[in-house]
Every structure is written in C-alpha cells, then in structure tokens.
Amino acid sequence: MIATVTLNPSLDEWMSLPALRAGELNRATGFVRYPGGKGINVSRVVRELGERTVALALAGGEDGEILRRLMNRLSIPHDFVAVEGTTRNNYKIRTARPRALTEINTEGPRASRSVLHRLEERLLTHRPPPQCVVFSGSLPPGALPAIYRRWIRMLEPRGIPAILDSSGAALAAGLRARPWLVKPNRSEAGELLGVRLRRLVDVAQAARRLVARGPSLAVISLGPDGAVLASRMSNRVLVATPPTVPVDSAVGAGDSLVAGFVVGWLRSRSLPEALRLGVACGTAAAMTPGTELCRRADILRVKPRVRLRTI
C-alpha cells in the first residue's frame, strides 16, 4: 500500500470559457469541481493502476467536507486530519481563445503544531504500515520547511522508503534526510542546484549531483522530453523518452509519473521498468483534460513506446 501526504490540498474549481476578459462579466460554459493537491493526485493514479493507497491530508471547514465527499465519490481511501479554517480553492480557467489554462491559487489554512502532530501520528501508526510514503507539494502556512525531513527520518528506522516531490526550501531540507527518491522537474532541480539545465547532459549531471546529496534515486522530469534517472548504485544515467502524443493538459503529469514509478518499482523491483511505467503515466496524463489524470488504456498503449537508453 502506497501512502501519500498532502499538507496543502485544495478544491479545484475548473471552468471553461470561450475567452476571458478582465474587468467584464464572463460566463462559464462548463464548471466542475475536483479534489486537488499533489499527493491526492498520486493516490488517484495509484488507484487507476489497480494498487492500494491511502491519501493523508489536512482538511477544514465546509470545503474540507466537500473534499472528503469528492474523495469518497472517486473511491480513494483517505485519512484527513481536521484543521481550523477552510480548505483552499484553486481556480482553473480553461479558455478556447487563446487555448490556455489560467490558474489562480489561494493560500491554504494555517497548519498548527498540534494538527501537524496529529497527522504525524496517523502516518506512523497507519495499519497496515505503508510500503512507502509519498510527500508531495507545497507547504501550508505554519509548516516549517524541515517538516518533510523530520517525517522522512522517522520512517527510516521503520524501513519505510520515502518519496519527495516538492520544491524550494522543503525540497532542499528533505534531501538531507536521504529519501529513497526525489522527483524534481527541470526548473525545480535547476533552482536547487543553482544552474540552468538546458542540455540533456546537464540534466544527467544534475541528477547525479542530487544523488550525491543523499537520496538513493533522483528522477528529473522534462515534460515532453521524458525523464532521467540517476541511482546511487550506478554512474550511468537512464533516459526515458516518451512517444509524441496528442496533448490536452499536462496538469498532474509529474504526480502521475511519481505514482507510475512507485507502482512499477513495487511490482518489478526493476528501475528501467519503474521509469518506463512512470513516464508512460506522465505522458498518458498529458493526453487527458486537466481534471482527469491518466487512463489505464492510454498507459498501456504508451508504455511499450517509451524509449529507454543509458548515457
């Protein structure tokens, strides 16, 4: 079972409009609400792949209640800790002209020390103990950047590997706890290392440098160019290139990659196989609209077409 942790989830409000005009009344032609948050996305994709998951998160107020109901409707097992205040809303505005996605994110409710402590207890006492824990996304107000580091360290003596997909200070601090896997994208990795990652060789070198900082594995995702994987066990870097596909929205592609990689690893214990399934899930997510992540049929079609090589 794969546990995910989302400290700053959201209710995502998706709207479609022919065009968006500032300062005028705009009428939406479509509206749908989805549970948002990176760990929650990972859990959705783990379910789509047919494996067991639990999504741990903080939720509060009326919107937190709606979030719980949406999780139930999607049949995603979850364990939410109540926070004071209300779960945030993120607005996703899809326009036809120009064909674009405009996003407005709000700040989440404050996470008090006692709330974070409660979530920590749930994480450490969950039955059955998870096979691994995915820490994803930004931190809410009140959570210190070292929170993921603390939890990764607490899981280590229990033999539970951690996956870290965050950015900025939370990523930098978390790396020092030596998680099993980190999964920044090109710009997150570049920001962390203070370099611009233009060419593939630069990305491969960056993945090696990340591994030198503590994690066993580093995957740097590259959008349509796929992903690279460096491992502490080898000097070679694995490169996975997806096929060209019709792209709708790449929202949640990175989260889908993480889910596919972890499921692939747990099933096969093979890194090439894990990377192949991860990249197939990311690419399948890019093929669907933003509210959807990836469909099993697309994953199965894309997977054999992912090209793997080492450099």
Ligand X SMILES: Nc1ncnc2c1ncn2[C@@H]1O[C@H](COP(=O)(O)OP(=O)(O)OP(=O)(O)O)[C@@H](O)[C@H]1O
Partners of 12 in the beta sheet?
A: 34, 90
Cα distance between residue 71 and residue 59, in whole Å: 12
Q: If binding means CB under 6 A, how many residues of this protein chain bind ligand X?
A: 20
Judged by CB under 6 A, which stretch of 18-26, 27-35, 228-236, 241-249 contacts ligand X?
Answer: 241-249
Please check whether residue 115 is in contact with residue 5, taking contact to mean a CB–CB distance below 8 angstroms.
no
User: To the nearest whole angstrom, how small is the minimum distance from the Cβ of residue 128 to ligand X?
Assistant: 28
Residues 113-132 that bind ligand X (CB under 6 A): none
Q: Does 39 bind Mg ion (CB under 5 A)?
A: no
Q: CA 4 to CA 6: how far, in whole Å?
A: 7
Tell me the per-residue interface mask from 184 to 203 with ligand X, x by CB under 6 A, - otherwise: -x------------------
Instruction: Return the H-helix or E-strand segment holding 102.
Output: strand 100-104
Does residue 182 contact residue 219 with C-beta atoms inside 8 Å?
A: yes
- Verify binding: residue 245, ligand X, rule CB under 6 A: yes
Binding residue (CB under 5 A) for Mg ion from 242, 254, 260, 282 = 254
Among ligand X, Mg ion, none, what does residue 67 contact (CB within 5–8 Å per kind)?
none
CB 282 within 8 A of CB 260: yes
Nearest distance, CB of residue 227 and ligand X, angstroms: 4
Please, which residue, 81 or 240, has the CB nearer to Mg ion?
A: 240
Question: What are the tokens at 287?
Answer: 């093929």
Considering only 69-77, 170-178, 201-209, 248-256, which stretch makes contact with ligand X by CB under 6 A? Answer: 248-256
In terms of DSSP bridges, do strands 181-182 and 162-165 run parallel, antiparallel, or are they unpaired?
parallel
Nearer to ligand X, 83 or 299 (CB): 299
If one asks whether residue 223 binds ligand X (CB under 6 A), the answer comes out as yes
Active site residue 255: yes
In contact, 134 and 2? CB cutoff 8 Å: yes
Among 70, 189, 250, 263, interactor with ligand X by CB under 6 A: 250
Residue 37 found at the interface with ligand X (CB under 6 A): no
DSSP 185-249: BHHHHHHHHTS---SHHHHHHHHHHHHHTS-SEEEEE-GGG-EEEEETTEEEEEEEEPPP---S-
Q: Which stretch binds ligand X (CB under 6 A): 2-10, 74-82, 124-132, 242-250?
A: 242-250
Scan for tokens 């926070």, then name that residue: 83
Residues found near Mg ion in the complex (CB under 5 A): 254
Residues found near ligand X in the complex (CB under 6 A): 185, 221-224, 226-227, 242, 245, 247, 250, 252-255, 257, 279, 282-283, 286
